[in-house]
Amino acid sequence: MAVGQTPFPFMPPISGVQLGTTNAGIKQTVRDDLLVFQFPESATCAAVFTQNAFCAAPVHVAKAHLAHAPRWLLINSGNANAGTGEQGMRDALQTCQDLAQVTSGQMQQVLPFSTGVIGQPLPVEKITPALPQAVANLAENHWELAAKAIMTTDTFPKGVSKVITLNGESVTINGISKGAGMIQPNMATMLGFIATDAKISQPLLQQCLADAVELSFNRITVDGDTSTNDACVLVASGCTLAPEITINSENYSIFAKAILEVSQELAELIVRDGEGATKLMRIVVSEATNDAEAVQVAKTIAHSPLVKTAFFASDPNWGRILAAVGRAGVEAMELEKIRIYLDDVCIVREGGRATDYTEESGQAVMNQAEITIGVKLGRGDAMQTVLTCDFSYDYVKINAEYRT
CATH no. for residue 212? 3.60.70.12
381-400 mean pLDDT: 90
Q: Which domain holds residue 106?
A: 18-272
Expressed in angstroms, the distance from the first to the final Cα of the chain is 19
Cα 231 from Cα 51, distance rounded (Å): 10
> Could you tell me if 296 and 320 lie in one domain?
yes
Per-residue H/E/C for 131-152: HHHHHHCCECCCHHHHHHHCCC
230 and 307 inside one domain: no
The residues, any chain, with a CB within 8 Å of residue 167's CB and separated by 6 or more, are: 242, 243, 251
| 38 touches 72 (CB < 8 A) | yes
pTM of the model: 0.94
38 in a structural domain: yes
- Residue that is last in its domain, among 242, 272, 302: 272
- Pick the more confident residue, 382 or 403: 382
| Co-location of 365 and 348 in the same domain | yes
pLDDT category, 189, cuts 50, 70, 90? low
Rg (CA), the chain: 22
| Predicted local confidence at residue 184, as pLDDT | 76
* 68 and 206 belong to one structural domain: yes
Q: What is the DSSP letter of 219?
A: G
pLDDT of residue 137: 98
Read off the CATH number of the domain in which 393 is found.
Answer: 3.10.20.340
pLDDT in tens, 72-94: 999 999 999 999 999 999 999 99
Q: Check whether residue 207 and residue 323 sit in a common domain.
A: no
The answer on 185 and 57 residing in a single domain is yes
Q: Are both 350 and 334 inside the same structural domain? A: yes
Q: Catalytic: which of 152, 189, 221, 385?
A: 189
Q: Is position 12 within any domain?
A: no
Tell me whether residue 377 is in a domain. yes
Domain co-membership, 224 together with 97:
yes
Catalytic status, residue 189:
yes
> Which among 272, 295, 329 is the end of a domain?
272
- Indicate whether 333 and 287 sit together in one domain: yes
Judged by DSSP in three states, 300 sits in helix
The pLDDT of residue 226 is above 80: no
Does residue 300 share a domain with residue 263? Answer: no
Q: Compute the distance between CA of residue 200 and CA of residue 238 in angstroms, rounded to an integer.
A: 7
- Residues facing residue 20 across a β-bridge: 36
Is 212 within 8 Å of 256 (Cβ atoms)? yes
Residue 85 sits in the same domain as residue 193 = yes
Give the whole-angstrom CA distance, residue 282 versus residue 341. Answer: 11
Q: What is the structure's pLDDT at 396?
A: 80
Shared domain for 286 and 356, answered yes or no, is yes
- Scanning 240-371, the segments in alpha helix (DSSP H) are 250-272, 291-302, 305-312, 318-326, 359-366
Question: What's the pLDDT band for 6 if we cut at 50, 70, 90?
Answer: confident
Number of independent structural domains in the chain: 2
Selected residue with higher pLDDT from 90 and 182: 90
- Domain termination site, one of 248, 272, 296: 272
Task: Report residue 45: phi and psi, to 5°.
Answer: -140, 130
